[in-house]
């Protein structure tokens, strides 16, 4: 304890505590890199860790309640009172006591000393959790709420992980562990909090660092323009063609004026022929060049959308399992297919039509002003109404596009869910119900789409009406002028002017309705960027790249939860030596597969460290790391491809003989050879056409071919009969020789080669040692073995009965 | 063992801890430290309440809370209120979406709160046409019991995200 007082951290003179915690401070770069979780001024000259800057009132409370001879170590600011009301509460932990500050407590504070605490834990409820101290000696593994305990502080899941660290610290200090070592663990938890961008939730490169995602995400359109850039030459050429067609299209009304005012009254047949010839040439150029332009636009548009789709799909491959846990397959497919097309059409409109329409608008206005400025001003009357209407329309339509997409995503989700599961639907004669469910969601989409179409169809028609009224003004006033003062405006001029007016309203209409496609594309872009900007799995092509992994695995203080409502792994510490064959046993939901998930780096958001050969697995290049691991799952995934390619999956350069050899090792060669198309047999989607045991042996062959340093088996024989099990078991035993192997098994008989057993229960390691040691311990493993021996006997006798 | 469904006055409950009760059945059987939990936390707030002991073993199911005597019902409700914190949103003062995070400034029956939702598709769910469940970045839950009962501004603010 004294050491803490002798080594105060650097006194921070900055008064702007807010800046020091976040990424916005430009004046204090050094604070951002040096333990950003020290967001408060030192308390009595000693820095302490905190998740939030404490207010002056909070500091006064600390001054008032913490005696001079105690050292404040850290505070955790919470958000709920013990009575479940939103409130500014905080936990303050010193070297001698634990203080809970909550205005609903008597006197606003509750104090507890370490010596009475036997166990401290966070009990998670639904949307909230409580820090509990148990005072009962017998509470070794879990807190028994029927015994003496204190419900110390309540908080939401927002700070649950920090309270976890606090509970772990309190319990260990109460047990007499070293305070400095324990503080390092607590500080690591605080540091992790500051490694997350408060804006977008992505991981930062270091605590308090600026978020690359938020910095660069200033304009969605800017990002999309990046996809257009490679085709700029083609698009500029298209634009040039557009200018030609636009310029040429301005000619016919003028020719009309010439014909009506000069050629026809004069009866000049020669001039008539010239005019018709000019008009013919104009139309040939207009439509000929237009066709070339349309073709080139289609080509460039397709290329843009293909690039965008490639990028979205590529990124989708690199996204974390956490993303897929929370995002339906349907919505991902929808983004790759529908949204990219939507953006394609919009981008082409932006890069082409906008330019064309703009030039057209300017050209017409210039010509109209040159012809008659008074009539031109009259024709501009409807424009402000159209502009205001477009703004209102944009605001109204945006939510509809969002809603339509959600409804359509739901429909796609039903498809991706039910079409692959068609066998189950048929087996349960659920076709009618399945159709009704689809119809229900499709009807919802229909209803929303119809609501949107009321607006989307109404607006263009209103615009059309207003514009037509504009031409009526020209007819009315212009016509009157032609009748009253033909020397001022001729009939030909009026007809020609009306042609230009209708042409002028074209671009006006276009810009008015652009908002519709803009809003739709903006929605699509947001969803696509949701994938493109999502945090990928780290370290692809980066990080350490050792020659080979030896296979020493170490879990250090691992805590993990899929979501914050339930802790899946608590304080897991395991050491596995190279070449060890480790069996993980435990009841369903105990956290066995989660251990493998973390080792596979499907989830990186855990507290603590996992080391392989002394290196943190987060620092190893992901591609190399996974290439060194063979993973055989309970339900092996096969692709709609030949057996040969399925075995060679992930081993692109494997020779034919090595693939046959791998199949041999996996006890798969014999059954493959018996198939009519043997290795060329094309499997159905997800491997239909093979039995579960056959699929499993193919997945073992895949692992054999990969020649990994480390092997994981997750219930590899759980769903096969005894005979297939023995075939698979023999294949596994050949495969695991000399490799670090972790096997999860419900059937403990499959672990007979294991030299180490880990027993997991409720996310904690409760027993670990050799099978003999655990049998001697007569704990959970012993009980599981006894239960299994009995059930195996029953199973065996049943199988024999059936055989007889 | 057959599942024990509890109806009417079959059981007497005594509050033990914030989320625990002792149960005494009409036939004299006693169970201590049972935690009432909803089997249908979204769709059935008052029906099918399971009673779990310290080992997570189910000791009975209350079929419908409405059938329990007033006192017993209040005891179970108090436990459930402690266990399930789902603040009810009564008013939305503002909604802003930036960097893919939707922030909703809301008034709830538990006080004022800023709800941060990162994935709108996942975080906002309309249930049974009028009830809205919100799930924030930290997996905390909130609820709008009946969207039609919100004031017009609140309704307008949340509407575009439904």
* A65 contacts A46 by C-beta, under 8 angstroms: no
B57, B105: one domain: no
What mean pLDDT comes out for the span A751-772? 84
**What residues contact residue A751 under an 8 Å CB cut-off, 6+ apart?**
A583, A585, A743, A745, A757, A771
Last residue of a domain, one of B50, B65, B83: B83
Please give the pLDDT value at position A719.
62
* CA distances to A660, A689, B157 from A641, in Å: 17, 12, 49
State how far residue B82 is from chain A, nearest Cα, in angstroms: 8
Please give the pLDDT value at position A200.
62
Please give the pLDDT value at position A3.
41
Count how many residues are written for chain B: 162
Paired tokens of A458: 């109404």
Average pLDDT, chain B: 88
What mean pLDDT comes out for the span A73-81? 91
B10, B77: one domain: yes
Q: Which residue has the higher pLDDT, A152 or A21?
A: A152
pLDDT at A300 over 60: yes
B26, B72: one domain: yes
- Which residues on B lie below 8 Å from A200 (Cβ)? 99-101, 118
Name the least confident of A163-172, A508-517, A619-628, B89-98. A508-517
- Which residues on A lie below 8 Å from B160 (Cβ)? 398-399, 402-403
Q: Which domain holds residue B122?
A: 89-159
Q: Which strand ranges, in their side-by-side order, compose the sheet holding B141-144?
A: B124-127, B131-135, B141-144
**What residues contact residue A310 under an 8 Å CB cut-off, 6+ apart?**
none
Please give the pLDDT value at position A30.
35
Each residue's pLDDT tens digit, A698-712: 888 888 888 888 888
* CA distances to A480, A493, A496 from A485, in Å: 8, 13, 17
* A559 contacts A608 by C-beta, under 8 angstroms: yes
Residue whose C-alpha is closest to residue A675's, from A698, A700, A651, A707: A698
What interface predicted TM-score (ipTM) does this complex get?
0.90
Please give the pLDDT value at position A10.
39
pLDDT at A27 over 60: no
What residue of A is the nearest CA neighbor of B136? A158
- Decide if A86 and B112 are in contact by the 8 Å CB cutoff: yes
What mean pLDDT comes out for the span A337-357? 75
Please give the pLDDT value at position A296.
86
Please give the pLDDT value at position A43.
84
Please give the pLDDT value at position A39.
64
Please give the pLDDT value at position B80.
92
- Decide if A127 and B54 are in contact by the 8 Å CB cutoff: no
pLDDT at B14 over 90: yes
Please give the pLDDT value at position A100.
93
Each residue's pLDDT tens digit, A656-671: 888 888 888 888 888 8
Q: What is the DSSP secondary-structure string of A82-121?
A: TTS-EEEEEEEEESSEEEEE-TTSGGGEEEEEGGG-SEEE
What residue of B is the nearest CA neighbor of A142? B54
3-state secondary structure at position A536: strand
State how far residue B133 is from chain A, nearest Cα, in angstroms: 12
State how far residue A406 is from chain B, nearest Cα, in angstroms: 7
* A108 contacts A119 by C-beta, under 8 angstroms: no
CB-nearest partner of B119 from A86, A326, A399: A326
Q: Which residue has the higher pLDDT, A783 or A204?
A: A783
- Decide if B141 and A126 are in contact by the 8 Å CB cutoff: yes
Please give the pLDDT value at position A90.
93
Q: Report percent pLDDT > 90 for chain B.
A: 51
Please give the pLDDT value at position A383.
81
B76, B117: one domain: no
* A611 contacts A617 by C-beta, under 8 angstroms: yes
B66, B98: one domain: no
Q: In whole angstroms, what separates CA A724 from the centre of its chain? A: 39
Q: Delineate the domains of chain A, giving CATH numbers in brackets.
A: 2-215 (2.30.29.30), 220-532 (1.20.1560.10), 548-627+742-804 (3.40.50.300)
**For chain A, what is the total number of helices (H) and then of strands (E)?**
31, 18
Name the least confident of A132-141, A303-312, B9-18, B127-136. A132-141
First to last CA, chain A: 74
pLDDT at A470 over 60: yes
Each residue's pLDDT tens digit, A774-794: 888 888 888 887 877 776 666
CB-nearest partner of A156 from B17, B18, B138: B138
Residue whose C-alpha is closest to residue A309's, from A340, A343, A332: A340
- Decide if A126 and B86 are in contact by the 8 Å CB cutoff: yes
B106, B58: one domain: no
Please give the pLDDT value at position A350.
72
Q: Which residues pair with B95 in a beta bridge?
A: B104
What mean pLDDT comes out for the span A167-176? 88
Please give the pLDDT value at position A539.
59
Indicate the pLDDT class of residue A801, thresholds 50, 70 and 90.
low
B37, B79: one domain: yes
* A318 contacts A537 by C-beta, under 8 angstroms: yes
- Which residues on A lie below 8 Å from B18 (Cβ)? 130, 151
Q: Which residue has the higher pLDDT, A148 or A408?
A: A408
First to last CA, chain B: 45
pLDDT at A62 over 50: yes
- Decide if B138 and A130 are in contact by the 8 Å CB cutoff: no
What residue of A is the nearest CA neighbor of B112? A86
CB neighbourhood size of A348 (10 A): 20
Please give the pLDDT value at position A5.
41
Q: Is A84 on the interface with B (CB under 8 A)?
A: yes
- Most confident by average pLDDT, A162-166, A384-388, A470-474: A162-166
- Residue whose entry in the numeric block shows the structure tokens 């043997």: A678
Paired tokens of B132: 């809205």
Average pLDDT, chain A: 79
| CA B137/CA A605 separation, integer angstroms | 14
* A467 contacts A386 by C-beta, under 8 angstroms: yes
Indicate the pLDDT class of residue A798, thresholds 50, 70 and 90.
low
**What residues contact residue A770 under an 8 Å CB cut-off, 6+ apart?**
A755, A756, A757
3-state secondary structure at position A464: helix
Each residue's pLDDT tens digit, A579-616: 888 888 888 778 888 888 898 888 887 888 899 888 88
Each residue's pLDDT tens digit, A674-733: 887 888 888 876 667 788 888 888 888 888 888 888 888 887 766 666 677 777 777 777
* CA distances to A102, A401, A445, B147 from A448, in Å: 47, 9, 5, 18
Sign of CA dihedral A789, A793, A799, A800: positive
Q: Is B49 on the interface with A (CB under 8 A)?
A: no
B43, B104: one domain: no
Count how many residues are written for chain A: 804
* B132 contacts B117 by C-beta, under 8 angstroms: no
3-state secondary structure at position A666: coil
- Decide if B101 and A144 are in contact by the 8 Å CB cutoff: no
The helix-helix angle for A491-532 and A220-228 (nearest 10°) equals 100
Last residue of a domain, one of B24, B49, B83: B83
Name the least confident of A261-265, A478-482, A800-804. A800-804
* A639 contacts A648 by C-beta, under 8 angstroms: no
- Which residues on B lie below 8 Å from A213 (Cβ)? 99
Total domains, chain B: 2
Please give the pLDDT value at position B127.
80
Q: Which residue has the higher pLDDT, B117 or B122?
A: B117
B70, B99: one domain: no
Q: Which residue has the higher pLDDT, A652 or A680?
A: A680
pTM for this predicted structure = 0.65
B105, B152: one domain: yes
> Interior CA angle at A762 toward A758 and A764, to 5°?
45
Each residue's pLDDT tens digit, A383-396: 888 778 877 877 77
CB-nearest partner of B121 from A126, A331, A563: A331
pLDDT at A12 over 60: no
3-state secondary structure at position A587: coil
| CA B77/CA B84 separation, integer angstroms | 10
pLDDT at A93 over 60: yes
B133, B77: one domain: no
Please give the pLDDT value at position B11.
93
Last residue of a domain, one of B31, B52, B83: B83
Q: Report percent pLDDT > 70 for chain A.
A: 85
Q: Which residue has the higher pLDDT, A127 or A332?
A: A127
| CA B117/CA B136 separation, integer angstroms | 5
B74, B45: one domain: yes
């Amino acid at each position: 304890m004294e050491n803490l007082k002798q080594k105060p951290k650097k006194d921070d003179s900055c008064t702007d505590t807010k800046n020091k915690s976040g990424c916005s401070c430009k004046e204090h770069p050094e604070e951002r890199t040096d333990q950003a979780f020290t967001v408060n001024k030192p308390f009595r000259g000693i820095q302490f860790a905190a998740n939030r800057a404490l207010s002056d009132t909070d500091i006064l409370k600390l001054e008032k309640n913490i005696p001079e001879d105690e050292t404040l170590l850290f505070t955790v600011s919470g958000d709920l009172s013990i009575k479940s009301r939103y409130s500014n509460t905080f936990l303050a932990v010193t070297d001698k006591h634990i203080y809970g500050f909550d205005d609903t407590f008597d006197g606003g504070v509750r104090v507890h000393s370490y010596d009475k605490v036997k166990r401290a834990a966070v009990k998670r409820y639904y949307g909230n959790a409580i820090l509990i101290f148990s005072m009962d000696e017998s509470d070794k593994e879990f807190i028994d709420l029927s015994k003496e305990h204190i419900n110390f502080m309540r908080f939401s899941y927002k700070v649950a992980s920090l309270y976890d660290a606090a509970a772990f610290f309190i319990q260990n200090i109460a047990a007499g562990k070293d305070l400095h070592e324990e503080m390092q663990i607590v500080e690591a938890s605080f540091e992790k909090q500051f490694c997350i961008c408060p804006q977008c939730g992505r991981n930062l490169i270091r605590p308090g660092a600026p978020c690359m995602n938020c910095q660069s995400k200033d304009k969605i359109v800017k990002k999309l323009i990046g996809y257009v850039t490679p085709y700029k030459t083609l698009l500029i050429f298209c634009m040039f063609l557009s200018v030609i067609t636009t310029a040429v299209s301005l000619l016919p009304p003028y020719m009309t004026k010439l014909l009506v005012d000069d050629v026809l009254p004069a009866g000049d047949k020669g001039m008539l022929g010239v005019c018709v010839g000019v008009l013919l040439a104009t139309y040939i150029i207009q439509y000929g060049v237009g066709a070339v332009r349309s073709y080139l636009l289609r080509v460039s548009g397709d290329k843009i959308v293909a690039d965008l789709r490639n990028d979205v799909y590529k990124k989708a491959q690199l996204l974390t399992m956490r993303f897929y846990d929370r995002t339906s397959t349907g919505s991902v497919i929808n983004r790759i297919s529908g949204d990219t097309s939507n953006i394609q059409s919009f981008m082409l409109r932006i890069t082409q039509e906008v330019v064309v329409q703009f030039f057209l608008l300017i050209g017409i206005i210039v010509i109209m002003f040159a012809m008659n400025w008074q009539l031109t001003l009259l024709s501009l009357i409807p424009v402000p109404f159209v502009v205001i209407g477009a703004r209102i329309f944009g605001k109204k339509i945006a939510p509809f596009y969002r809603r339509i997409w959600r409804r359509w995503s739901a429909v796609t989700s039903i498809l991706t869910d039910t079409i692959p599961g068609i066998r189950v639907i048929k087996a349960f004669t659920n076709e009618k119900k399945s159709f009704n469910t689809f119809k229900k969601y499709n009807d919802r989409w229909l209803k929303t789409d119809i609501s949107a179409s009321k607006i989307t169809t109404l607006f263009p028609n209103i615009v059309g009406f207003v514009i037509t009224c504009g031409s009526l003004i020209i007819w009315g006033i212009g016509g009157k002028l032609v009748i009253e003062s033909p020397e001022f405006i001729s009939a030909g001029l009026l007809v020609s002017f009306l042609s230009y007016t209708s042409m002028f309203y074209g671009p006006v209409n276009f810009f008015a309705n652009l908002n519709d496609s803009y809003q739709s594309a903006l929605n699509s872009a947001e969803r696509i960027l949701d994938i493109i900007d999502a945090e990928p799995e780290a370290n692809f092509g980066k990080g350490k790249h050792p020659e080979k992994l030896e296979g020493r695995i170490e879990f250090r203080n691992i805590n993990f939860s899929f979501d914050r409502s339930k802790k899946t792994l608590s304080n897991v510490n395991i050491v596995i030596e190279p070449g060890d064959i480790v069996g993980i046993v435990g009841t369903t939901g105990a956290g066995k597969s989660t251990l493998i998930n973390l080792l596979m780096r499907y989830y990186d958001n855990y507290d603590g460290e996992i080391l392989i050969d002394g290196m943190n697995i987060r620092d190893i290049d992901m591609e190399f790391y996974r290439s060194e691991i063979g993973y055989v799952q309970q339900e092996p995934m096969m692709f709609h491809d030949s057996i040969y390619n399925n075995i060679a999956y992930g081993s692109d350069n494997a020779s034919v003989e090595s693939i046959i050899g791998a199949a041999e090792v996996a006890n798969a060669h014999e059954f493959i050879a018996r198939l009519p198309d043997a290795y060329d047999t094309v499997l159905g989607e997800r491997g239909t056409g093979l039995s579960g045991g056959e699929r499993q042996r193919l997945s073992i062959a895949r692992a054999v071919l990969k020649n990994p340093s480390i092997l994981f088996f997750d219930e590899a024989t759980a769903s096969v009969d005894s005979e297939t099990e023995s075939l698979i078991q023999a294949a596994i035993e050949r495969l695991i020789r000399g490799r670090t192997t972790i096997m999860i098994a419900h059937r403990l008989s499959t672990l007979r080669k294991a030299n180490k057993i880990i027993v997991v229960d409720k996310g904690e390691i409760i027993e670990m040692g050799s099978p003999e040691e655990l049998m001697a311990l007569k704990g959970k493993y012993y009980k599981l073995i006894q239960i299994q021996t009995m059930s195996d006997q029953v199973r065996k006798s049943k199988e024999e009965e059936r055989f007889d | 063992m057959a599942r024990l469904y509890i109806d009417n006055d079959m059981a007497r409950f005594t509050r033990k801890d914030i989320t625990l009760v002792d149960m005494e059945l009409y036939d004299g059987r006693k169970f201590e430290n049972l935690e009432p939990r909803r089997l249908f936390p979204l769709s059935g707030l008052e029906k099918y309440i399971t009673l779990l002991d310290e080992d997570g073993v189910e000791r009975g199911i209350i079929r419908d809370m409405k059938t329990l005597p007033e006192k017993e019902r209040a005891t179970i409700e108090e436990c459930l209120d402690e266990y399930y914190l789902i603040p009810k949103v009564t008013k939305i003062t503002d909604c802003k979406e930036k960097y893919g995070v939707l922030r909703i400034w809301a008034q709830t029956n538990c006080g004022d709160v800023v709800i941060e939702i990162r994935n709108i598709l996942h975080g906002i769910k309309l249930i049974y046409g009028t009830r809205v469940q919100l799930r924030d970045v930290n997996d905390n839950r909130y609820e709008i019991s009946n969207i039609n009962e919100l004031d017009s501004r609140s309704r307008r603010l949340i509407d575009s995200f439904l």
